[in-house]
Structure 1
Amino acid sequence: MRSRRRPTRRSAVTLTVLVTGALAAGLLTAPTASADGDGAVRIHDIQGTTRLSPYAGERVAGVPGVVTAVRGFGSARGFWFQDTEPDRDASTSEALFVFTGSTTPDVRPGDAVRVSGTVKEFYPGGENAGLQSVTQLTGATWAVRSSGNALPPAVVLNAASIPARYAPDAHGGSIEDLPLRPGRYALDRLESLEGMRVSVRNAPVTQATSAYHDLWVTAAPRHHRTPRGGVLYGSYADPNGARVKVASLIPFARRPFPVADVGDELTGVTAGPLDYDNHGGYTLQATELGGLVKHGLERETTRKQRSGELAVATYNVENLSPRNPQEKFDRLASALVTNLASPDIVALEEVQDDNGTGDDGTVDAGVTLKRLTDAIAAAGGPAYQWRQINPVDGRDGGQPGGNIRTAFLFNPARVSFTDKPGGDSTTPVDVVREGGAVALTASPGRVDPANDAWRNSRKPLAGQFSFRGERVFVIANHFTSKGGDQGLDSRFQAPSRTSEVQRVQQAKAVNAFAGRILAADRKAAVIVAGDLNDYQFSPALSALTAGRVLTDQVGLLPVKERYGYVYQGNSQVLDHILTSPSMGRKHTDYDIVHINAEFADQASDHDPQVLRWRP
């Protein structure tokens, strides 16, 4: 049966006039919107050939289908039903979600139903979030005609069924009204299957199980795989469209959700309706869950620095505060001592103040850092000292009340910190010549803190160190987050990355400061480290390395090893260590140490990294 097309606006108006006149003359009887309708409107008519239903806002009656799955928990309960007599148009989905709110619907998979309700386009996260909509029925009534019917076969998601191209380009505009081209674009293909039963077979896990009981797999196992089993996000041009999130509709008491790490595998068949949400886009809501085969991914350990090497690390410790359990401090300490081999200098990000998210004006982080350094010592590590500058209360972003900041740890047995007074939350550090050598005016000091680039964001922390008689300048950073950006699966394509503007400004400020050091001494050793919240191929990193002031060490790794963070099934780069020209490629050894991002059990969501430099 071919998809029924809506009449044109002119013909619809003419038809309305004729029908209205006939009703007034008593020649016709108005139809009722009951669940006993004749099924003249089918699901594929409602779904239509674009992302928006041609029936949006209208009430439909007697829509036939078979219940394929029920969501009987949470505040978004309901059921999916699917037409067993599909049309021949690949762009029209054959399934719908019926939203029942907090009421569990009295249907079961296999029930043949006739459903009446109002067609609505629901935007997860709200329409302003920029995501795609889900076509669904609300205010619904239904009648069960029979039970125990066979479910429609699941559409197999694999490399052959999902196009390599990701999405049509509307030059930043909405793609909602564009005709779906499921044979050309991955997003169009998934949208054409909205609500329908889909399946993956022997699917590799590309993001570990989260606290929300979901994980990510790839339906294209040979596409952009990392050596450890993930999927590499290496350019804006290819977001890896075969990634799919997997959640479960099976009660956990009957089938606990698998706890998987990257590189594990969901064997056999995982099947269920294809949903869409604001925490990852297209989601396979499993009614049939494959078995889990663990492939034994191990946490990495980097080598110990040699006596003549300076080891500098960066580690985002994810909102560390005294409110965290001691276990977190112990795990971070163990990682620093064992997995990172006790670096000489550590640039920390997301260090919160001494009462965490308690918003009472506290800004100092001495208790937080003491608990961490005590835990390091207890783990057999060095007696680290720390340096940091308290932010102005509530001015550096992050969790409200947390006052996150960057901080330095250093091992005084291996490296010395050059303390110079004058650095505070609002005074900018500068560069001078001192005794014939380049020096900072304050150490620690904040880089250009009044610059609008740092509005509601962490200000870079500069420190002057000495290693075996060599001056080393380290700048710890935590650039503004990607919050507010449109997602890869946004209805706006290409998606807008509004936060990128501020990161480019931040990168220019740090580049300029590093340039001032090098203008004073072109052979100066400058290390820029931290969570830059952006990719190695981004405009922000281009701005940071402009003029060959700095070299991004990420770019010197083999391509498939360029990641230290996993988001929505993509292994990607957010953290970086950059070096000045005199440090030279032949004298540096760089390692991203995979201990967190690929694992369900994490001490932080970031992997740390370490640079070893031989003067």
Structure 2
Amino acid sequence: MPSKSSARLAALTVAAVCSATSIVALTSPAHADSVRIHDIQGTTRISPYAGQQVTDVTGVVTGIRTYGSSRGFWIQDPNPDADPATSEGVFVFTSSTPKGVAVGDLVSVSGTVSEFVPGGTSSGNQSLTEITKPTFTVVSSGNPVPAATVIDAKSVPNAYVPDGDTAADNSINALPLRPSKYALDRYESLEGMNVQVSDTRVVGATDPYTELWVTVKPREHANRRGGTVYGSYDAQNTGRLQIQSLGSTADFPKANVGDTLTGTTSGPLDYNQFGGYTLVASQLGTLKSGDLKRETTEKQRRGELAVATYNVENLDPSDATFDAHAAAIVNNLRSPDIVSLEEIQDNTGSKNDGVVAADQTVGKLIDAIVAAGGPRYDWRGVDPADGTDGGEPGGNIRQVFLFNPERVSFTDRAGGDATTAVGVKKVRGKAALTVSPGRIDPTNEAFASSRKPLVGEFVFRGRTVIVVANHFNSKGGDHSLTSQYQPVARSSETQRHQQATLVNSFVKDVLATEKNARVIALGDINDFEFSGTARILESGGALWSAVKSLPRSERYSYVYQGNSQVLDQILVSPSIRRGCDLEYDSVHINAEFNDQISDHDPQVLRFKP
């Protein structure tokens, strides 16, 4: 999966282009006189004046954005109508930094009403109603800013969004807004208006782009560490709201999950590419620490095998995170016997030079683990063919196995390479791999531009364990939860389902060869424990996702848009699941923290083979 920063920078470039191009004009240009803001916003998501020129639209300036690709200011009518579905605020897109206007100015604006789609129409995002190519006159200054509308648990409905119109590709754009019934309709009815939240708990840590997530519903699917758990496709968590700021980035709070923005946070309600509905604060609350601590798992007992998966986020020799990753593996994961590492890059990282070997990357991590007081791990992996496995261009990410040779041995069988498929054979009545390490069906189209599963054969205390390390196709291209298309389209599932089918089939081959074989499939599955991908992996009883042994409130390894969710999983074959001594731990050391060294939390499984 590409790093957050590379994906975000690419998206920001797209956003800058789309500021001028991703406009939905539903009518031919016309002219409208004496139009109020609520007339422009209308009672659906698309303005009835889209594509038309409007004259002398009046409102008080509530906020000015002087940075980024979407510069301009918000205005709000201080004399609202009686319809709760019509917003009284709108964004005036000036392209460059607005001049000659200040908060509190009453202005008269003329321009073209446009529907701007952040991220472009292919993103599936809703559109933002704007006045573009504006001219404006300041009528008076020093006016009071319209009182902020309170967004709280009582005002946001529990239902998330209606299903879209099947005659319009499931779009919700033309549906009448029902702000008292649906959360997204409530937010849409406030688009561009001055809003406020108070004493809100942080459910998504501050990221490098100066944004965080809060919830106005502190009891909604809460977990013990202060987050909000995403536990099904029908539990989108309606209280989540992104917070940005119109102020200095240096003054933005560095928050962790479980912290609280005390007091009032207020400003215009925007809609953007990366967070949907976003409160762009002109006033930020004060951060109160929740004193969240990084977790440490239990040390495996002498007769227990500890197996872990950890996405180290595009690790290459130039990174500064080796010592931190090593400390996490030694201190927080307690030096597992086998560690599947995802997103190990080649020796030259993102430099696109044809290098595919990763021995320097892995060797540097192993040395750092020793320096941190851990064992000197041995390792196995299979180099990919250049440019075939997705991820950051030039990086050639792959999975590798670390293993502690003092407790685990690796069964080497020659012949595994980038394109040779691993198979299963019977050796003295037991299932064995034809090549070890090897890759599952690496030339299959299911793994095009995606990581191929790495398979290895390990022996612990005389018992063989076959481990499949995975990094499935990313969710890139899926529509967001706030998409204009409902139910949400998840196009990336298609490839993950194909990948899951092949892994499931391979595990079934192992079990057909040896009914009670011990098989573990683990890694960054890039999908939820309740997803179709997980169901395919588990089909026929071949595997079971052990994260489901945890209480529902503790099932998460990743935080995205304020939703704590499962992406990383460890699945086990029936002989391992039957053991009453199986222990699973999602070790929360990254996803909830603003100073994370990876965006994923590692997972650890302990059991007696």
TM bucket, shorter chain: over 0.9
Q: CA deviation at 1:104?
A: 2.5
Matches within 5 A, 1:143-542: 143-170=137-164, 171=166, 173-252=170-249, 256-325=251-320, 328-542=321-535
The corresponding residue for 1:58 is 52
The corresponding residue for 1:3 is none
Q: Is the 1:432–1:438 contact (alpha carbons within 8 Å) kept by the matching residues of 2?
A: yes
Unaligned stretches of 5+ residues in structure 2: 1-26
TM-score, scaled relative to structure 2: 0.93
Describe the superposition over 1:70-110 as per-residue Cα deviations: whole angstroms up to 9, x where unpaired: 11223321100000111111111101101111233321111
Describe the superposition over 1:512-551 as per-residue Cα deviations: whole angstroms up to 9, x where unpaired: 1111111111111101110000001100000000011111
- In structure 1, how many angstroms separate the alpha carbons of the residues matched to 2:89 and 2:45? 13
Match of 1:106 among 93, 97, 100: 100
Supply the AA of the counterpart residue of 1:229. Answer: G
CA RMSD across the alignment: 1.4
- In structure 2, how many angstroms separate the alpha carbons of the residues matched to 1:392 and 1:321? 17
Larger Rg: 1
The corresponding residue for 2:9 is none
Q: Is the 1:74–1:102 contact (alpha carbons within 8 Å) kept by the matching residues of 2?
A: no
- In structure 2, how many angstroms separate the alpha carbons of the residues matched to 1:444 and 1:596? 29
Supply the AA of the counterpart residue of 1:306. Answer: R
Q: Is the 2:65–2:97 contact (alpha carbons within 8 Å) kept by the matching residues of 1?
A: no
Look up the SS of the partner of 1:587 in the other structure: coil
Supply the AA of the counterpart residue of 2:56. Answer: G
Supply the AA of the counterpart residue of 1:316. Answer: N
Describe the superposition over 1:326-355 as per-residue Cα deviations: whole angstroms up to 9, x where unpaired: xx0000000000000000000010011111
Supply the AA of the counterpart residue of 1:446. Answer: R
Q: Is the 2:579–2:607 contact (alpha carbons within 8 Å) kept by the matching residues of 1?
A: no
Q: Is the 1:217–1:245 contact (alpha carbons within 8 Å) kept by the matching residues of 2?
A: yes
Describe the superposition over 1:146-198 as per-residue Cα deviations: whole angstroms up to 9, x where unpaired: 11111111111111111111111025521111111111111111111000011
Look up the SS of the partner of 2:580 in the other structure: helix
Supply the AA of the counterpart residue of 1:81. Answer: I
- In structure 1, how many angstroms separate the alpha carbons of the residues matched to 2:87 and 2:205? 30
- In structure 2, how many angstroms separate the alpha carbons of the residues matched to 1:477 and 1:74? 37
Look up the SS of the partner of 1:546 in the other structure: helix
Q: Is the 1:82–1:94 contact (alpha carbons within 8 Å) kept by the matching residues of 2?
A: yes
Look up the SS of the partner of 1:519 in the other structure: helix
Q: Is the 1:73–1:104 contact (alpha carbons within 8 Å) kept by the matching residues of 2?
A: no
Supply the AA of the counterpart residue of 1:412. Answer: P
Aligned length: 578
Q: CA deviation at 1:395?
A: 0.7
Look up the SS of the partner of 1:502 in the other structure: helix
- In structure 2, how many angstroms separate the alpha carbons of the residues matched to 1:528 and 1:228? 28
Supply the AA of the counterpart residue of 2:217. Answer: A
Q: CA deviation at 1:588?
A: 1.0
The corresponding residue for 1:9 is none
- In structure 2, how many angstroms separate the alpha carbons of the residues matched to 1:214 and 1:258? 9
Q: CA deviation at 1:323?
A: 2.1
TM-score, scaled relative to structure 1: 0.92
Describe the superposition over 1:387-422 as per-residue Cα deviations: whole angstroms up to 9, x where unpaired: 000011111110111111010000000000001101
Q: CA deviation at 1:222?
A: 1.1
- In structure 1, how many angstroms separate the alpha carbons of the residues matched to 2:68 and 2:301? 55
Supply the AA of the counterpart residue of 2:317. Answer: P
Of 459-468 and 39-48, the range deviating more from structure 2: 39-48
Matches within 5 A, 1:4-83: 40-83=34-77
Supply the AA of the counterpart residue of 2:84. Answer: A
Supply the AA of the counterpart residue of 1:118. Answer: T
The corresponding residue for 2:125 is 131
- In structure 2, how many angstroms separate the alpha carbons of the residues matched to 1:189 and 1:339? 42
Supply the AA of the counterpart residue of 2:194. Answer: R
The corresponding residue for 2:15 is none
Q: CA deviation at 1:585?
A: 4.4
- In structure 2, how many angstroms separate the alpha carbons of the residues matched to 1:59 and 1:350? 50
Q: Is the 1:78–1:105 contact (alpha carbons within 8 Å) kept by the matching residues of 2?
A: no
Q: Is the 2:579–2:608 contact (alpha carbons within 8 Å) kept by the matching residues of 1?
A: no
- In structure 2, how many angstroms separate the alpha carbons of the residues matched to 1:105 and 1:565? 42
- In structure 1, how many angstroms separate the alpha carbons of the residues matched to 2:417 and 2:503? 18
Q: CA deviation at 1:208?
A: 0.3
Matched, 1:554 2:547: yes
Percent identity among equivalent residues? 58
- In structure 2, how many angstroms separate the alpha carbons of the residues matched to 1:369 and 1:586? 35
Supply the AA of the counterpart residue of 2:335. Answer: S
Q: CA deviation at 1:558?
A: 0.5
Describe the superposition over 1:477-525 as per-residue Cα deviations: whole angstroms up to 9, x where unpaired: 0000001111111111111101101111111111111111111111111
Look up the SS of the partner of 2:559 in the other structure: strand
Look up the SS of the partner of 1:595 in the other structure: coil
- In structure 2, how many angstroms separate the alpha carbons of the residues matched to 1:553 and 1:155? 44
Unaligned stretches of 5+ residues in structure 1: 1-11, 17-30, 34-38
Supply the AA of the counterpart residue of 1:317. Answer: V
Q: Is the 1:76–1:99 contact (alpha carbons within 8 Å) kept by the matching residues of 2?
A: yes
Look up the SS of the partner of 1:101 in the other structure: coil
Supply the AA of the counterpart residue of 1:474. Answer: V
- In structure 2, how many angstroms separate the alpha carbons of the residues matched to 1:360 and 1:350? 18
Look up the SS of the partner of 1:508 in the other structure: helix
Q: CA deviation at 1:252?
A: 4.0
Describe the superposition over 1:114-163 as per-residue Cα deviations: whole angstroms up to 9, x where unpaired: 11111111111112211011111111111111111111111111111111
Q: Is the 1:169–1:494 contact (alpha carbons within 8 Å) kept by the matching residues of 2?
A: yes
